[in-house]
Amino acid sequence: MQSHTSFPIKNINTHLTEIKDYFKVAVSVDCVIFGFDGSVLKVLLIKSDLAQYKNKWSLLGDIVRPDEELDAAAYRVLRERTGLENVYMEQVHTFGALNRHPAGRVITVAYYSLVNIHHVQLRVSDFGLHWHAVKDIKQMAFDHKQILDTCVKRLQDRIIEHPVGFNLLPKKFSLRELQNLYEAVLGVKFDRRNFRKKFLSMGLIEDLHEVENDVRHRPAKLYKFNEKAMWKNTRFLNVNSID
């Protein structure tokens, strides 16, 4: 079982005092910016103009500056592209395949963030920047499809355990909107009445005693997210059967 190989052993944490010989790699961040339009989970992409990825879509990313924290770089990319600050963001995974970027060794730290899609106004100079339905995306530039898939999976894991989905909704929302969101993210169907019961019984949403308008049917009550109920230890959704 033991086979001691690959000597000599080095350990950066004990032996490294000079790193200039190792300056052979660039680090970037890539942001998977999720939005929800009421029925479909979307992601903000930009059209790549690199020759080898002409007309392919890519994530929003940038090189991490030498004096910049990783999270700060991700927030900067988000801010520059959407104008938004203080949005939910989470580091997901770091991708470092040798030939993932044609310009050289670029190791990228992937983040996803959840924004209110209606708060994002794309500027004229943002030509080539568009919201795409996540489930319709088949291929992307670089390894970005893999990064997207990883972030979608992380979002699914997270939204089951923790009520992060509210970041994708307006402040006032109906139960139908909330359920649509969860069904879109998780790719499942819930029973409407049990879904309502679950969220109400956990105190996660609060009745605003208002109703929606401009709908073609009986208007639904509006609710807001109750932040006090956010930090609970219990899982708040059960998703054992996916269909």
Partner DNA sequence: GAACATTGCGTAACTTAAACGCAATTTAAA
Partner DNA sequence: TTTAAATTGCGTTTAAGTTACGCAATGTTC
Contact footprint for DNA (CB under 7 A):
174-176, 191-194, 196-198, 211, 215-221, 235, 238, 240-241
> How would you class 145 by CB atoms within 10 Å of its CB: exposed for 0-12, middle for 13-18, buried for 19 or more?
middle
123 binds, options DNA, a second copy, none, Cβ within 5 to 8 A by partner type: a second copy
> Considering beta carbons, is residue 118 or 189 the nearer one to DNA?
189
| Distance of closest approach, residue 35 Cβ to a second copy, in angstroms | 14
192 binds, options DNA, a second copy, none, Cβ within 5 to 8 A by partner type: DNA
> Considering beta carbons, is residue 80 or 191 the nearer one to DNA?
191
| Distance of closest approach, residue 167 Cβ to DNA, in angstroms | 21
Conformational region of residue 47, where left means phi above 0, alpha means psi within -120 to 50, and beta covers everything else: beta
- Residue 39 and residue 180 in contact, taking contact as beta carbons nearer than 8 Å: yes
Sketch the per residue contact string, 190 through 209, with a second copy: x for CB under 8 A, - otherwise.
--------------------
Helix (H, G, I), strand (E, B) or coil at 91: strand
Lookup: tokens for 26? 């660039």
Burial 111-126, CB ≥16 within 10 A → b, else e: bbbbbbbeebeeeeee
Query: Which of positions 135-164 make contact with a second copy (CB under 8 A)?
Result: 141-142, 144
CA distance 78 to 59: 11
- Residue 37 and residue 120 in contact, taking contact as beta carbons nearer than 8 Å: no
> Is 213 a binder of a second copy (CB under 8 A)?
no
> Is 235 a binder of a second copy (CB under 8 A)?
yes
| Distance of closest approach, residue 234 Cβ to DNA, in angstroms | 8
> Considering beta carbons, is residue 46 or 164 the nearer one to a second copy?
46
